């Protein structure tokens, strides 16, 4: 795939440095609870930068997520997730993501990168969808991205979850869903 073909295949593509707009973005997740239902949540505080290269395959992402900003819609559960049983937010304030590459896959892309949680770094590829690029009503330029991934929480030493008598209270598999809107900074 050549650079011009790649760029030409992305309508309105703009190379530059973008700031994630947290008001119009969401960093969410879902995890099975008691193996019969899913609990969904999100993080209310996060930031990041996206650099779209002249060749889209040369683009990069960095992001920081405030672990204490967990929001599952239940304050008691959120406090438990902040505790040493899960995130240990007194010691580990943030989760970070740093891309290491991007590659085409099928009709979309995969953003390869490193997720760091509780001081442990693992490769976590994100299935990436480019939603578009365009002007906003304030004279700026915006871009939209959706991404999903699955992680095993025990890979990051988040191991709470065995019920008395056996069985899992919380699944090891966590699905991550990202809806990102970014504003062109330069």
- Mean pLDDT by runs of 10 across the 186 residues of the chain is 44 95 96 76 98 95 98 95 93 98 93 97 97 93 97 88 55 92 91
Q: Nearest CA to 158 among 81, 46, 44?
A: 81
List the CATH number of the domain containing 73: 2.40.128.110
In terms of DSSP H, where are the helices of the chain? 3-8, 75-82
Q: Could you tell me if 153 and 114 are in contact, meaning their C-beta atoms sit under 8 angstroms apart?
A: no
**What's the pLDDT at 179?**
98
Backbone dihedral region of 81: left (phi > 0), alpha (psi from -120 to 50 degrees) or beta?
Answer: alpha
**What's the pLDDT at 186?**
62
Q: Could you tell me if 26 and 186 are in contact, meaning their C-beta atoms sit under 8 angstroms apart?
A: no
**What's the pLDDT at 75?**
97
| Token pair in block for residue 71 | 């929001």
Entry pTM: 0.88
State which residues form the domain around 68: 3-184
**What's the pLDDT at 146?**
97
Whole-number Cα distances in Å, 76 to 73, 79, 80, 135, 163: 9, 5, 6, 41, 18
Q: DSSP assignment, residue 183?
A: E
Instruction: Compute the distance between CA of residue 171 and CA of residue 186 in angstroms, rounded to an integer.
Output: 42
Question: How many domains does the chain contain in total?
Answer: 1
Instruction: Compute the distance between CA of residue 62 and CA of residue 20 in angstroms, rounded to an integer.
Output: 10
Instruction: Compute the distance between CA of residue 163 and CA of residue 169 in angstroms, rounded to an integer.
Output: 6
**What's the pLDDT at 4?**
33
């Amino acid at each position: 795939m050549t650079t011009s073909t790649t760029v030409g295949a992305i309508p309105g593509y703009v190379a530059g440095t973008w700031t994630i707009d947290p008001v119009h973005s969401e960093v969410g997740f879902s995890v099975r609870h008691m193996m019969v239902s899913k609990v969904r949540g999100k993080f209310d505080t996060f930031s990041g930068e996206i650099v779209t290269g002249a060749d889209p395959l040369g683009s990069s992402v960095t992001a920081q997520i405030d672990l204490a900003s967990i929001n599952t819609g239940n304050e008691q559960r959120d406090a438990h997730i902040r505790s040493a049983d899960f995130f240990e937010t007194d010691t580990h304030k943030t989760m970070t993501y740093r891309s290491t590459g991007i590659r085409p896959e099928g009709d979309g892309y995969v953003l390869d990168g490193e997720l760091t949680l509780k001081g442990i770094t693992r490769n976590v590829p994100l299935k990436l969808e480019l939603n578009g690029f365009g002007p906003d009503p304030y004279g700026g330029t915006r871009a939209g991205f959706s991404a999903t991934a699955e992680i095993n929480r025990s890979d990051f030493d988040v191991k709470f979850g065995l019920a008395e008598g056996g069985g899992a209270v919380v699944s090891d598999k966590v699905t991550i869903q990202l809806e990102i809107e970014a504003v062109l900074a330069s």
